[in-house]
Amino acid sequence: MGRVVVLGSVNVDLHLQVERHPRGGETLLAGGLERRFGGKGGNQAVAAAAAGAGTVLVGAVGDDDAGREYLRRLEAFGVDVSAARAVDGTPTGTAVICVDAGGENTIVVAPGANHRVGAEDLAALDAAAALGPGDVLLAQLELPLEVVAEGARRAAARGARVVLNLAPYAALPADVLELADPVVVNEHEAALLEADGQHPWSLLVTLGADGSRWGDLVVPGRRVEHVVDTTGAGDSFCGVLAARLAAGDDRRAAVEAATAAAAVTVQHEGAQPPRPRPS
Ligand code: RIB
């Protein structure tokens, strides 16, 4: 079974519960504020580890209490953080997330230490993470884009599979998109990709409650009676997808496992499970 190496972001998530999202110029009172663990990289790493993959996180936190607490938590979830760094002078990334009564969210991210990920961390992909055939590099776009692009190129050159989640959407060079199997986008990101004239050969589009489409493969969504919070759904999908592909699953089996994981995630508050599963 291959490993999953997540090249990705780590954020503290500040969740605000709102009846509805504010309009421009409007002030609303929130029903509650919770501080949780998030960041697309951290969320995906936790999901991959929970799905049984040996999981390594390459990324950065600030040299602060939040960053130290987060790295300890990732370790408790079984994620190898020996290739993650604490950087001086920049705080751990922070996201402000409004979740409305229907579980829908809006997110604004202050990248902080995530934007300090660079050459030193790419060296970790070659050294500590030592990607090779059978392994999966899983990356999203909350890190500097040139770092993601170079990480994908290095992983592919070493024979690893590259899974690229274009979230939040940004244009990547066509040669990088062509390395990914698959590129994962939601419908909104798919429209932006199309508008950029990019048509990756392996494109997996998630369709929310309607499931997903990966080329000819269509996998329906799981019925969920009560959606609490959709914040982490896409991330648990990507993390479990990467874990199952690293385990050798075919496309259908991997997407079905990812779909089931996303359905579980929308039924709890926050992007990550509150605590590791007992072993
Ligand atoms: O995908 C959800 C994540 O996006 C949140 O945890 C937040 O930190 C942002 O990175």
As a whole number of angstroms, the distance between CA 43 and CA 67 comes to: 15
As a whole number of angstroms, the distance between CA 242 and CA 8 comes to: 14
Query: Is 137 near ligand 1, meaning CB less than 6 Å away?
Result: no
Query: Is 95 near ligand 1, meaning CB less than 6 Å away?
Result: yes
Q: What is the pLDDT of residue 129?
A: 67
Predicted confidence (pLDDT) per residue in 128-142, tens digit: 667 899 999 999 999
CA 175 to chain centre: 22
Phi first, then psi, for residue 57 (nearest 5°) are -105, 125
Q: Which of 72-76, 99-103, 152-156, 178-182 has the lowest mean pLDDT?
A: 99-103
Q: Prior bond to 168 cis, omega within 30?
A: yes
Residue range 78-102: mean pLDDT, rounded = 95
Query: Ligand 1: which residue has its CA nearest to atom 1?
Result: 40
Query: Is 206 near ligand 1, meaning CB less than 6 Å away?
Result: no
Active site residue 216: no
Ligand 1 atom nearest 271 alpha carbon: 6
Predicted confidence (pLDDT) per residue in 188-232, tens digit: 999 999 999 999 999 999 999 999 999 999 999 999 998 888 999
Per-residue pLDDT for 274 more than 90?
Answer: no
Query: Ligand 1: which residue has its CA nearest to atom 7?
Result: 39
Task: Please give the share of the chain, as a percent, with pLDDT higher than 90.
Answer: 89
**Per DSSP, what are the bridge partners of residue 100?**
none
Calculate how far, in angstroms, residue 38's C-alpha sits from the geometric centre of ligand 1: 5
Query: Ligand 1: which residue has its CA nearest to atom 10?
Result: 39
DSSP string covering 44-83, please? HHHHHHHTT--EEEE-EEESSHHHHHHHHHHHHTTEE-TT
Query: Ligand 1: which residue has its CA nearest to atom 8?
Result: 39
Catalytic residue (choose from 64, 229, 235, 250): 235
Mean pLDDT of the chain: 95
Predicted confidence (pLDDT) per residue in 235-248, tens digit: 999 999 999 999 99
As a whole number of angstroms, the distance between CA 100 and CA 146 comes to: 34
Calculate how far, in angstroms, residue 232's C-alpha sits from the geometric centre of ligand 1: 7
Tell me the best of 9, 12, 34, 40 to mutate to test the pocket of ligand 1, counting ligand atoms within 8 Å of each CB and taking the most: 40
Residue range 31-39: mean pLDDT, rounded = 95
Ligand 1 atom nearest 11 alpha carbon: 8
Q: Prior bond to 200 cis, omega within 30?
A: no
CB 202 within 8 A of CB 211: no
Per-residue pLDDT for 279 more than 80?
Answer: no
As a whole number of angstroms, the distance between CA 170 and CA 21 comes to: 24
Residue range 46-61: mean pLDDT, rounded = 97
As a whole number of angstroms, the distance between CA 108 and CA 110 comes to: 7
Calculate how far, in angstroms, residue 170's C-alpha sits from the geometric centre of ligand 1: 16
Query: Is 107 near ligand 1, meaning CB less than 6 Å away?
Result: yes
Sheet holding 4-7, edge to edge: 79-80, 55-58, 4-7, 136-139, 161-165, 180-186, 203-206, 212-214, 217-219
Per-residue pLDDT for 275 more than 90?
Answer: no
Ligand 1 atom nearest 167 alpha carbon: 1
Query: Is 111 near ligand 1, meaning CB less than 6 Å away?
Result: no
Calculate how far, in angstroms, residue 39's C-alpha sits from the geometric centre of ligand 1: 4
CATH class, 4-8+39-90+114-265 region: alpha beta
Ligand 1 atom nearest 105 alpha carbon: 2
